[in-house]
Amino acid sequence: MLLASTVLLIAACFGLFALTVQFALVLRHRREAPPAARPGAVRPGISILKPLCGVDDDLEANLAQFAALDYAGAYEVVLGVKDARDPAFAVARAAVARWPHVMRLEVQEGEPGHNPKVNQLITLADRARFDLLVISDSNTRVAPGYLEEIARAFEDPEVGCVTHPVTGLGERTFGSLLDNLHLGSSAAAGMIAAKRLAGQDIVVGKSMALRREDVDALGGFFSVKDVLAEDFVIGQWVTRKLGRRVVVAQTPVFNVSLRKSVLSFFQRYLRWSVIHRTAVSPSTYFAQALLNPTPLALLGALLAPSSQTAAVCLCVALGKVAVDLSTVRALRAQPLTWDAVPAVFAKDALLFTAWVYALFSRTVNWRGTRLRVGRGTRLVPLRTAGLEAAPSRRILAG
Same domain, 293 and 173: no
* Inside any domain, residue 388: no
Report whether 201 contacts 346 (CB < 8 A): no
Strand arrangement of the beta sheet that strand 207-211 belongs to: 103-107, 75-81, 46-51, 132-136, 207-211, 159-163, 245-248
Q: How far apart are CA 180 and CA 333, in angstroms?
A: 13
* Inside any domain, residue 354: yes
Q: What is the pLDDT of residue 383?
A: 61
Q: How far apart are CA 60 and CA 141, in angstroms?
A: 11
133 phi/psi in degrees, rounded to 5: -105, 130
Same domain, 105 and 123: yes
Which residues, including other chains, have CB under 8 Å from residue 190's CB and lie 6 or more apart?
A: 22, 202, 291
Report whether 372 contacts 359 (CB < 8 A): no
Q: How far apart are CA 195 and CA 300, in angstroms?
A: 31
Gyration radius of the chain's alpha carbons: 22
* Inside any domain, residue 391: no
Same domain, 201 and 131: yes
* Inside any domain, residue 148: yes
Q: CATH number, domain at 133?
A: 3.90.550.10
Report whether 210 contacts 224 (CB < 8 A): no
Q: How far apart are CA 24 and CA 27, in angstroms?
A: 5
Q: What is the pLDDT of residue 354?
A: 95
Q: What is the pLDDT of residue 33?
A: 72
pTM of the shown model: 0.88
DSSP H stretches of helix in the chain = 2-31, 59-66, 88-98, 116-127, 146-153, 174-182, 189-198, 212-217, 230-240, 262-279, 282-288, 293-303, 307-331, 340-360, 382-397
Q: At what angle do helices 293-303 and 307-331 cross, to 10 degrees?
A: 170
* Inside any domain, residue 122: yes
Same domain, 16 and 42: no
Q: At what angle do helices 189-198 and 2-31 cross, to 10 degrees?
A: 90
Q: What is the pLDDT of residue 56?
A: 87
Report whether 163 contacts 248 (CB < 8 A): yes
Is 295 in a helix, a strand, or coil?
A: helix
Same domain, 19 and 108: no
Q: Compute CA distances 156 → 53, 119, 199, 320, whole Å.
A: 34, 30, 18, 38
* Inside any domain, residue 387: no
* Inside any domain, residue 389: no
Same domain, 224 and 339: no
Tally Cβ neighbours within 10 Å of residue 284: 12
Q: Compute CA distances 127 → 48, 211, 289, whole Å.
A: 11, 15, 42
Same domain, 42 and 21: no
Same domain, 295 and 207: no
Helix H or strand E encompassing 159? strand 159-163
DSSP classification of residue 85: T
Same domain, 127 and 209: yes
DSSP classification of residue 281: -
Write out residues in the chain with pLDDT < 70, as ranges: 34-40, 366-368, 382-398
**If we measure between CA atoms, which residue out of 172, 167, 332, 336 comes closest to residue 261?**
172
Q: Which domain holds residue 308?
A: 2-25+271-381
Q: How far apart are CA 276 and CA 316, in angstroms?
A: 25
Same domain, 214 and 99: yes
Cα 72-77-82 angle, rounded to 5 deg: 170
* Inside any domain, residue 394: no
Same domain, 242 and 293: no
Q: How far apart are CA 325 and CA 182, in angstroms?
A: 10
Same domain, 108 and 209: yes
The count of structural domains within the chain is: 2
Q: What is the pLDDT of residue 5?
A: 94
Report whether 293 contacts 15 (CB < 8 A): yes
Residue-wise pLDDT for 46-66, tens only, equals 999 999 998 888 899 999 999
